[in-house]
Chain A
Amino acid sequence: MSSPADLTLAEATASLRAGELSSRELLQGTLDRAGLTEAELHAYLTIDHERARAAAAAADEARARGETTGPLHGIPVAIKDNMVTAGLETTAGSQILAGYIPPYDAAAVIALRKAGAVIVGKTNLDEFAMGSSTENSGYGPSANPWDTERVPGGSSGGSAAVVAAGSAMMALGSDTGGSIRQPAALCGVVGMKPTYGLVSRYGLIAFASSLDQIGPIARTVGDAAVALEVIAGHDPLDATSYRGAYPRYRASIGRGVAGLRVGVVAELAGEGISPDVLSAFRSVVDSLADAGAVVSEVSLPSMEYALSAYYLIAPAECSANLARFDGVRYGLRVEGATVEEMTARTRALGFGPEVTRRVLLGTYALSAGYYEAFYGQAQKVRTLVIQDFTKAYESVDVLVSPTSPMTAFEFGSRTEDPLSMYLVDVCTIPSNLVGAPGISVPVGLDGSGLPIGFQVMAPSLGEEILFRVAAEVERSSAWNDRRPPLLEADHGV
């Protein structure tokens, strides 16, 4: 390896433990990598050099004293900029929060710090996590390390890009309709959305509260499992937090899939999926069968309505969640003659077009006389989707599909038509409606050299079986050369 920035989390931890590498060296390698790639990627919104260096130094000193604080001791990580960080600017990718310095840390950020992680900085995203390409960021889009003319996916595009480029070893994302899994797929890294309630949402700037979930983006399935163990856990500050037991997810890795029943979602493995993606997907499914899995095809008839339901429920919730950005207490304020005018001007200037569209859509869907036809109907569809999945899991242990119907697309190719952008999330949205976990594992490249993601879905709280299958997908696809061309051709690092 030419740089410690290219290590996996597991490799780095081993080197740190063995004393072959210091946290300071690891951070320096990571910051150097960011220095080389950021001009083209723009994956970070903020890099916190000073505090990261102090944290790495503290990690080294602690280790010298024989103290290690947790499984991420001295590991450089990045955080999507919709999770609040005490004393560090947090914008959610929106101009309405430009310069906003939160007074507190999100629960997941506290968990990372407790586990010894070194927080490198905050990553770019579609404004308030609304989008699939980072093109909706109020601070300009990020680029895909595999082809800088293309999007990294979204909304956690910055987090996926930094992990792919080596400018963070692991990054937190948030997933409301696929915002962790889809960018992970497009950037050739692993992205995992846990069961709703597994990771506290306290401090995650809400987009759609009943769908949002924080999860890890990492270079391997095992690294994602380590990160999930760190951030998952009951939090009394989140009323929707899960109260049961939290297993060690790492224990699932390497147990194989012999005898497990794998269901291919018929509706997500045919029409609308690009041929290269479909063929890579089929080949992995065959490998799973070869490894002893019992593969069958499963139909989820409500799938065709899931997207429509999502695009009513998510905007409805966001219309209320984003109401607090009014210029009164924090963030942007555009003065006006009255309070109403001040608030209206602040929101008009502070929100980008996609956020404005969804706030309007959601407001409309909740309005008197329309509630039943839109929001009410969408909730009924959500119930149907849940029932479909419950029924499917009577006959299979996991469901699989491509993560994204297509690989990374070019900037601007979908921005004109919002519906074409919404379709990007067709494979990932159902898991959010159900509240169940999903993971995207990179399984190869398409004809243009762009990464393809394979999605595994499991029932709620089925993380152990999810990781078990995902690890097998990773192993059997045997795609180890994951260095994006950006690192080879342009910089020779």
Chain B
Amino acid sequence: MAYEAVIGIETHVELATDSKMFCGCPARFGADPNTNVCPVCLGLPGALPVPNERAIEWIVAIGLALECDIAHRSHFHRKNYFYADQPKNYQISQFDVPVCSGGTLDIDVNGQATGVRINRVHMEEDTGKMIHVGGGGRIRDADHSLLDYNRSGIPLVEIVTEPDLSTPQQARAFAQELQAMVLALGVSDAKLEEGSMRFDANVSLRPEGAAELGTKVEVKNMNSFRSLERALAYEIERQTAALEAGVPILQETRHWDEGAGVTGSMRSKEESSDYRYFPEPDLVPIEVTDTWREAIQKGLPELPAARRNRYVALGLDPAAVAVLVSGGSALTGLFENAVGLGADPKAIANWLTGEVAAFLRRESVELGDTPLTGENLHELEGLYGAGDLSATAAKQVLAGVLAGEGSPAEVAEARDLIQISDAGALATEIDRVLANHPEEYQRLMDGDARVIGYLVGQVMRITAGKADPKVVSTMLGEKVKG
């Protein structure tokens, strides 16, 4: 029998607000353990939560971008379960009335468009981080565990789809499109490797064409788009084999093991918690007035789908479009800025997706943390286009700009990289070379064009690479004809 997969995705997005969801602590990644904490996010006796208004604004923006309905009045609930990374042993979340419900995100796989329905988008808080020391590195067999509450209370948005996906490729496309959306909105770093964007997938199989859903399995711990795709492919294969062998699928949560390339059982339905949700009495309902919602709608930036269309119309190649659209606000900001100043879109896209991207990878830095501006790119492109910089020199100038050495002109000047394309200046250099190479000069005069390459090389050598080789070559050629 042929089976088809039914997949739904739950996404957690950590918002990049300045402060945490319910207290004033910084919501930043990377500080020393337990330094961004206070009575509220440590769950000390007596502490009370106060909602972060910016986080509410941003979840509304996410909801609007996903074409959701925004509730005028929604509620926080307490989700009760004991776990040591959770300081209150309940998580402030939402239950029956989320901020956003209903919605769609369009994805495209190999030219085939699919609208993925969004069930809900709700607001909650993140937990602390646990590191298990000794044993197998899991809570059960560790010697002891270390707790870092810096992450505790960071605003977390959960986005839940309907089970509208049917292949691992679609799931990956959805995840990537959602990340591009979140980055375009500028509400999260959306880094999978740091956990600021996390995907869980629900997957079940049913006989092809059947209406009834099969037993679903939740798969967790996919830390990259690739692992999401691999985990789902594995899980579909595993469930297919089980069904074909007549083994029923258990409703359970499974953990993706990236190294082994398999999923393993974490807990079955019987072991799953009763969260005993009830309305959070320490908080009043979240009110989103029409005026506020409309203001947020008005402030939405260009979303990935619209941006993609516009970039295609600019003549950019599909690979560059994909990188620019999914690259976050810093990247698109630079691009827009440079193009806005009059630079050639294709050239700028090439710089950004080529040299700049390579630099960032090599140095492991964020674009936003470099001094590179759109103006720099525009200027660099100008110098290169005018022939003042060779392709090699332009790369060196860019590296200098990224390293903080100044504007392209300043770097080119300081590093002495300005190309000599002035005919007068070059004629002097060419004459010097010809004088020192009488044999080659004679061959050139005899009409032997094969010697030009050698002579260009000599000119480049004595000008320390600054001569424009094209101009030199042309000038030598003219001597032959002359």
Contact-residue size bin, chain A (C-beta under 8 Å from the other chain)? 35 or more
Docked complex: B33-51 residues within 8 A CB-CB of A: 39, 42-51
| Beta-carbon contact of B47 and A202 below 8 Å | yes
- Chain A stretch 202-220: residues in CB contact (< 8 A) with chain B: 202-206, 208-210
CA distance A103 to B37 in the complex (A): 12
Map CB proximity to B onto A313-353 as digits: 1 under 8 Å, 0 otherwise: 00011011001101011100000001110010000000000
Cβ of A106 under 8 Å from chain B: yes
Residues 434-478 of B at the A interface (beta carbon under 8 Å): none
Interface residues of A in 152-169 (CB under 8 A from B): none
Which of A53-61, A363-371, A470-478 participates in binding chain B?
A363-371
Cβ-defined contact, B282 with A239, below 8 A: yes
Contacts of A356 in B (CB 8 A): none
The residue that B50 contacts in the complex, of A206, A239, A323, with Cβ under 8 A, is A239
Cβ of B139 to closest chain A Cβ, rounded Å? 6
A287 nearest CB across to chain B (Å): 39
Given A238-B48, A323-B80, A338-B140, A209 and B282 contact (CB-CB distance below 8 Å): yes
In Å, the complex CA distance between A106 and B147 comes to 26
B44 touching A102, Cβ below 8 Å: yes
Q: Which A residue's beta carbon lies closest to that of B90? A: A320
Q: B43, A363: Cβ atoms under 8 Å?
A: no
Inter-chain contact A324/B278, CB cutoff 8 Å: no
A208, B49: Cα distance in complex, Å = 15
B274 at the interface (CB under 8 A from A): yes
Q: Are A320's CB and B139's CB within 8 A?
A: no
Interface residues of B in 253-290 (CB under 8 A from A): 274, 276-278, 281-284
Selected contact of B90 from candidates A204, A316, A323, A340, CB within 8 Å: A323
Chain B nearest Cβ from A31, distance in angstroms: 27
Contact check: which of B51, B84, B281 meets A209 at CB < 8 Å?
B281
Task: Tell whether, in the assembled complex, residue A363 and residue B48 are in contact, meaning their CB atoms are under 8 Å apart.
Answer: no
- Is the CB of A198 closer than 8 A to any CB of chain B? no
**B89 within 8 Å of A (CB atoms):** yes
Q: Does B145 contact A (CB under 8 A)?
A: yes
Contact with B along A96-107 (1 / 0, CB 8 A): 010010111010
Task: Say yes or no for B29: interface residue by CB 8 A criterion.
Answer: no
Give the distance in Å from the alpha carbon of A368 to the alpha carbon of B272 in the complex.
Answer: 12
In the complex, the answer to whether A326 meets B84 with C-beta atoms within 8 Å is yes
Residue of A nearest to B284 (CB): A239
Instruction: Name the residue in A84, A320, A330 with the highest tally of chain B Cβ atoms < 10 Å from its Cβ.
Output: A320
Task: Say whether B12 faces chain A, with CB atoms less than 8 Å apart.
Answer: no
Measured between beta carbons, the chain B residues less than 8 angstroms from A104 are: 39, 44, 46
Q: Which of A83, A323, A367 has the most CB of B within 10 A?
A: A323
Q: In the assembled complex, which residues on chain A have CB atoms less than 8 Å from the CB atom of B283?
A: 239-240
Whole-angstrom distance between the alpha carbons of A450 and B49 in the complex? Answer: 43
B151 within 8 A of A: no
> Could you say which residues of chain A place their CB within 8 Å of the CB of B139?
338-339
* A202 proximity list for chain B (CB < 8 A): 46-48
Report whether A329 and B87 are in contact in the complex, using a CB–CB cutoff of 8 Å. yes
Q: Is B78 an interface residue (CB 8 A)?
A: yes
| 144-200 of chain B: CB within 8 A of chain A | 145, 147
Among A240, A319, A328, A366, the most chain B Cβ lie within 10 Å of the Cβ of A328
Within 8 A of B (CB), among A166-204: 201-204
Q: Which A residues lie within 8 Å of B292 (CB)?
A: none
Complex Cα spacing A236 to B147, Å? 29
B395 within 8 A of A: no
A330, closest chain B residue (CB): B44
Q: Decide yes or no whether A13 CB sits under 8 A from chain B.
A: no
Q: Do the beta carbons of B284 and A366 come within 8 Å of each other?
A: no
Given known contacts A202-B48, A320-B278, A330-B44, is B82 in contact with A240 (CB within 8 Å)?
no
CB distance A320 to B43 under 8 Å? no
Residues of B within 8 A of A106 (CB): 46
Q: Is the interface of A mostly helix, strand, loop or mixed?
A: loop
Q: Quote the shortest CB–CB distance from B285 to chain A (angstroms).
A: 10
The smallest beta-carbon distance between B41 and chain A, in angstroms, is: 11
Closest Cβ of chain A to B482, distance in Å, is 85
- The answer to whether A367 touches B276, judged by C-beta atoms less than 8 angstroms apart, is yes
User: Are the C-beta atoms of A324 and B43 separated by less than 8 Å?
Assistant: yes
Task: A412 to B302: give the CA distance in the assembly, Å.
Answer: 71
Q: Given the complex of chains A and B, what is the CA–CA distance between A43 and B84 in angstroms? A: 35
Contact of B48 among A90, A201, A366, A375 (CB under 8 A): A201
**Given A320-B80, A320-B278, are A203 and B87 neighbors across the interface (CB < 8 Å)?**
no
Other-chain contact of A326, B50, B89, B140, B145 (Cβ < 8 Å) = B89
Residues in chain A near residue B46, CB distance under 8 A: 83-84, 102, 104, 106, 202-206
Q: Assess whether A92 is interfacial by the CB under 8 Å rule.
A: yes
A237 is an interface residue with CB less than 8 A from chain B: yes
Could you tell me the distance between the alpha carbons of A97 and B277 in the complex, rounded to whole angstroms? 27
For the complex, what is the distance from the CA of A316 to the CA of B280, rounded to whole Å?
A: 11
For residue B276, which residue of chain A has the nearest CB? Answer: A366
Q: How far is the CA of A237 from the CA of B84 in the complex (A)?
A: 25
Task: Choose among B39, B82, B147, B274 the residue that contacts A340 (Cβ–Cβ < 8 A).
Answer: B82
How far, in whole Å, are A205 and B88 apart by their CA atoms in the complex? 13
In the complex formed, the residue of B with least CB distance to A342 is B84
Q: Which residues of the other chain, B, contact A366 by a CB distance below 8 angstroms? A: 80, 276-278
Query: Which of A97, A210, A329 contacts B281, CB < 8 Å?
Result: A210
Q: How far is the CA of A102 from the CA of B281 in the complex (A)?
A: 23
Give chain A residues whose Cβ lies under 8 Å from the Cβ of B284: 239-240
**Bound state CA distance, A204 and B277, in angstroms?**
23
A159 vs B287: C-alpha distance when bound (angstroms): 39
Contact (Cβ within 8 A) B48 A324: no
Enumerate A422-450 residues with CB–CB distance to B below 8 Å.
none
Residues of A within 8 A of B43 (CB): 324, 329
Find residues 1-52 in chain A having any chain B CB closer than 8 Å to their own CB: none
Q: Is the CB of B49 within 8 A of A239?
A: yes
- What are the residues of chain B within 8 A of A339 when measuring CB–CB? 84, 139, 145
* A residues in contact with B281, CB < 8 Å: 208-210, 240, 317
Contact between B39 and A90 (Cβ–Cβ < 8 Å)?
no
| B-chain residues with CB within 8 Å of residue A367 when the two chains form the complex | 274, 276
Q: How many Å lie between the Cα of A204 and that of B47 in the bound state?
A: 8
The answer to whether residues A320 and B48 also contact, given A326-B89, A329-B42 and a CB cut-off of 8 A, is no
- Give the contacts of B100-150 with A (CB-CB under 8 A): 139-140, 145, 147
B140 A324 Cβ-Cβ under 8 A: no
A202-B47, A239-B51, A317-B281 known; A324 vs B84 contact (CB < 8 Å): no
B82 close to A326 (CB less than 8 A): yes
Counting chain B CB atoms within 10 Å of each CB, the highest count among A83, A236, A237 belongs to A237
From A236, A238, A317, A323, B82 is in contact (CB under 8 Å) with A323
B88–A323 CB distance below 8 A? yes
Which residues of B, 62-102, contact A by the 8 Å Cβ criterion? 78, 80, 82, 84, 87-90
Is the beta-carbon distance between A100 and B274 smaller than 8 angstroms?
no
User: CA–CA, A237 to B283, complex, Å?
Assistant: 11
Chain B residues with CB under 8 A of A238: 48, 50
A320 vs B89: C-alpha distance when bound (angstroms): 8
Q: Is the CB of B42 within 8 A of A323?
A: no
Chain B interface residues (CB < 8 Å from chain A) = 39, 42-51, 78, 80, 82, 84, 87-90, 139-140, 145, 147, 274, 276-278, 281-284
A–B Cβ pairs within 8 angstroms, 14 of them = A90-B45, A92-B45, A104-B39, A204-B46, A210-B281, A239-B283, A319-B276, A320-B80, A323-B90, A324-B89, A328-B84, A330-B44, A339-B84, A366-B276
The 3 A-B pairs of least Cβ separation, nearest first, read A323-B89, A210-B281, A366-B276
Give 17 A-B pairs besides A106-B46, A239-B48, A368-B276 with Cβ atoms closer than 8 angstroms.
A84-B44, A84-B46, A90-B45, A103-B39, A103-B44, A202-B46, A203-B47, A205-B45, A239-B51, A240-B283, A326-B89, A328-B147, A343-B82, A366-B80, A367-B276, A368-B274, A371-B276
Which A residues fall within an 8 A CB radius of B? 83-84, 90, 92, 97, 100, 102-104, 106, 201-206, 208-210, 236-240, 316-317, 319-320, 323-324, 326, 328-330, 338-340, 343, 363, 366-368, 371, 375
